[in-house]
Amino acid sequence: GAVVSQHPSWVICKSGTSVKIECRSLDFQATTMFWYRQFPKQSLMLMATSNEGSKATYEQGVEKDKFLINHASLTLSTLTVTSAHPEDSSFYICSASLRQGYEQYFGPGTRLTVT
């Protein structure tokens, strides 16, 4: 099946620094990638949708200047949390869609802790 990886799997950073999370589709080309955030014991919240070569579409309430998304190739999307604060601590998950498929294949997630 389609495999999506994320790196790093966990990261601890200091308040005010920036953190980059990578999402890669390993065995397929993903024209569309999605970034989700999950708070403890809550559902997945879609943050943004990114299409290769174009600007990401952010969901209402998500700060585009704080959560920078780049989808530079068909196999790589990055999420950069800029000037991180403790409230940004969360579990970030990406997913990717096959060109002709409907399903989203999810990465394993990245646990971000901002101290």
Nearest distance, CB of residue 109 and other proteins, angstroms: 5
Nearest distance, CB of residue 16 and other proteins, angstroms: 26
6/77 with CB nearer other proteins: 6
Nearest distance, CB of residue 106 and other proteins, angstroms: 4
46/82 with CB nearer other proteins: 46
* Contacts with other proteins, residue ranges (CB under 8 A): 4, 6, 32, 34, 42-46, 49, 91, 93, 95, 97, 101-109, 111
Strand 44-51 relative to strand 57-58, pairing: antiparallel
Length of the chain: 115
Q: What is the DSSP letter of 40?
A: T
15/64 with CB nearer other proteins: 64
3-state secondary structure 49-102: EEECCCCCEECCCCCCCCEEEEEEECCEEEEEECCCCHHHCEEEEEEEEECCCC
